[in-house]
Amino acid sequence: MKSSESKKHKILIANRGEIAIRIMQACRKLGLDFVALFTEPDRHSEHCVLARNLGGEDSLYRVSAYLDANEIFAVADHSGATAIHPGYGFFAEDYRFARRVAQREHKLIFIGPSWQVIRELGDKINTKRLARKLGVPTVPGSDRPVTDDLEAEDIARSLFAFQKEQGVNNPVILVKASAGGGGMGIEEVDDPDKFRSVLRRIKNYAKRQFRDEGVLIEQRIFDFNHLEVQVLADRTGQNPVHFGTRNCSVQSLGRQKRIEVAPGFDPSSLRYAFDAKKVLEDITEYSLRMAREAGYDNVGTWEWIVSPTGQPFLMEVNTRIQVENGVSARIASIKGRGDVDLIAEQIRVGLGAPLGYAQQDIRLGGVGIEYRIIAEDPDNRFAPWVGRITSFDWPEQPWLTVHTQVPRDREYEIPTDFDPNLALAIIWGKDLDEARARGQEFLDTLTLAGENAGGEPLKSNIAFLKRKTEKILVF
């Protein structure tokens, strides 16, 4: 690691849009060179403008696709890059890509967890087994594929009984094809007498589609809050720290996050039906326990669901930087210094530097809100809107940070190749009331206009964000 720390690095940014911009800014903060990518639909993105402004024409390469690994490696070799930052999405949680980065003839550094960690914790069954081994609560149900019908029925009966004990009037369980993914091979069961027929149907489907008839059986949890714990560790994997919790319960119909709030609950100003402070303490301790056991060695997020009775269940681990890292950084300070940049920290430790601080050096203060501003129609099942942004601006405020690839000084055609995410706005307040008031002020003073090819006005989620702001952190 020492040799890696001492050499001058150049980071290839294998992503686009606002995350590419934030990685460039982090590289500049650390005194590192970078090289960025773009595809034809992104030629007018601000990430291309910033790359040229900071690094000149030689810092920007056109590729045919962000998911073409061979092209990415060709750019890395041609540009003299020594490391690859995948951002989020694309290759960020692909352990095969991370392994190739580390093992190819011209070795590079993958700015993220090691490929072994990504493989281990990217597998939900492995994650569940590790959690249970360490006494970390997980969604009740099987932690391995079940093929025996009698065993499956026993698990189902126990889950129905467990929910009844929790006061759930209409218990539901999920039967999933263990080899499935992307929502394939999943069915709900709300009647124990129907379980056997559903099990048979899912097993037959799994065998036909995946050549594996194993199933997972889990409790279906309703009316939960979605919380996260932000974790960071250096390459030793021995000293992980956390940067608090986030609440990501304001989502679209497809469970896509729209507002994130740090911390995850606010018992100082809101009443909860459970000990919210203890829940936050428990999930951070559980997350660090697992990170230490797994030898976690970069940035990552432990995702939790919390039931209405205050029971936390680990859902999964995201082995990457997340969109909402900035709202956790906004409420944090390290050794008394604010303006924490978790992407810069990720890059620094990813290149081999020691963490340099412990949990007691991290302080959390105030409340942060992150809005995802998206061209979509929340009243039409959040359907994406396609067209041109003709005006996009906002008043600058000391409590506001906006990350965006959309220009403020010219029109911008939203690329149809990607989700129509326009910006992330991060607001800070000394308490929940102030953060909410500032959030509403930002949304009220934001200028956002556009039209599609038919001359119809832009549709966005601004009104949806305004409605949801009043109830932030209310369970």
Residue positions annotated with a catalytic role: 320
Question: Residue 50 CB: number of other CB atoms within 10 A?
Answer: 19
At CA 409, angle to CA 404 and CA 413, rounded to 5?
Answer: 65
Residue in the block written with tokens 């000293």? 239
Tell me how long the chain is: 475
Alpha helix stretches (DSSP H) within 8-138: 17-30, 46-55, 69-79, 95-103, 115-122, 124-133
SS3 content of the chain, % helix, strand, coil (to 5): 35, 25, 40
Which two structure tokens, joined as six digits, stand for 88?
A: 């989020």
Q: Which of 142, 136, 143, 192 is nearest to 164 (CA)?
A: 192
Q: Which of 404, 435, 207 is nearest to 323 (CA)?
A: 404
Question: Residue 161 CB: number of other CB atoms within 10 A?
Answer: 12
DSSP helix/strand/coil, 376: strand
Which two structure tokens, joined as six digits, stand for 283?
A: 């999930």
Counting runs of H as helices and runs of E as strands, what totals does the chain give? 14, 23
CA distance 182 to 87: 21
Q: Which of 256, 245, 198 is nearest to 372 (CA)?
A: 256
Order the strands of the 33-38 sheet from edge to edge. Answer: 60-62, 33-38, 10-13, 83-85, 109-110
Angle, helix 95-103 to helix 69-79, in steps of 10 degrees: 30
Encode burial over 315-346: b for 16+ CB neighbours within 10 A, e otherwise.
Answer: bbbbbbbbbbbbbbbbbbebeeeeebbbbbbb
Angle, helix 195-210 to helix 149-165, in steps of 10 degrees: 130
CA distance 393 to 66: 28
Phi and psi based region of residue 419 (left: phi greater than 0; alpha: psi -120 to 50; beta: remaining): beta
Order the strands of the 367-374 sheet from edge to edge. Answer: 312-318, 299-306, 225-232, 241-251, 257-262, 367-374, 421-429, 400-404
Question: Residue 292 CB: number of other CB atoms within 10 A?
Answer: 15
263 preceded by a cis bond (ω within 30 of 0): yes
